[in-house]
Amino acid sequence: MNKKILTALIINIFVVLATASIAVSYYFYSNNPLVESGLDSYKFFTTDSNILAAISSLVIIPYEIQILRNKRDKLPRFAVVFKYIGMVSVMLTFFTVMFVLLPVYNVSFLLLGTAFHMHLSGPIAALVTVLFLETDSKIKFRETFLALIPVVIYGAVYLTEVLIVGEKNGGWSDFYTFNKGGYWYISMPVIFMSTYLIAVVTRLIHNKFAK
């Protein structure tokens, strides 16, 4: 039996179930003062990146089951690349929480309850599966740029809501403090470069363990 694929399958099922249950719970309960309804939770990259990672896990699960049943030999490239993109997104969430938000917000607010999975266990699960378990295909260098797409899209929406619409007109507050002091033009490129650095480093590690 392929122990790596079996381990990845178990982790992926956990990620899908945990993320789905947490996303649904936001419609009934939230200890986040910035969230007034379930739909409000989607304004956070934390929620969006974890859902993206969970969807990528859901996509790859059937292929892992087929491998374990000896119905196929390896994971399809598109599923591996999609999982890689989701992993990079949630790892950006992880590093943002650890190095940007922890100095601003309370530790219990960021790492306890549902936040534990969305900020910590979910990203780590994605990292472990992509780097060490789902290694049937190497990630090509040009595919590192694909990992920027979710962040660029979210960044454009965030800046629109914070700077153009504004909180007074129904937009978002600067809850990620990316425009603190009016320096969004510095913080946003740093976020994009950090995302790409994550993409490059994790690609190198993944490829080292790839067959």
Between the CA of residue 76 and those of 56, 72, 208, what are the distances in Å?
Answer: 12, 10, 18
* pLDDT for position 62: 98
pLDDT at 178: 86
Cβ contacts of 148 within 8 Å, gap of 6 or more: 192, 195, 196, 199
Mean pLDDT check: name the lowest of 37-41, 90-94, 107-111: 107-111
Nearest residue to 154 (alpha-carbon basis) of 12, 44, 15: 44
CA distance 46 to 76: 27
139 vs 114, more confident: 139
Q: Is residue 32 pLDDT above 70, yes or no?
A: no
At residue 131, the 3 state secondary structure works out as helix
| 33 has a pLDDT exceeding 60 | no
Q: What is the pTM of this model?
A: 0.92
**In the structure encoding, which two tokens stand for residue 131, read together?**
């780097």
Q: How confident is the model at residue 31 (pLDDT cuts 50, 70, 90)?
A: low
Of the candidates 85, 49, 83, the one whose C-alpha atom is nearest the C-alpha of residue 63 is 83
User: What was the pLDDT predicted at 35?
Assistant: 61
The predicted structure's pLDDT at residue 139: 97
Give the mean pLDDT of 86-111: 85
Structure tokens at 141: 């260098």
- Mean pLDDT, the chain, whole residue set: 91
Q: Determine contact, residues 63/40, Cβ cutoff 8 Å.
A: no
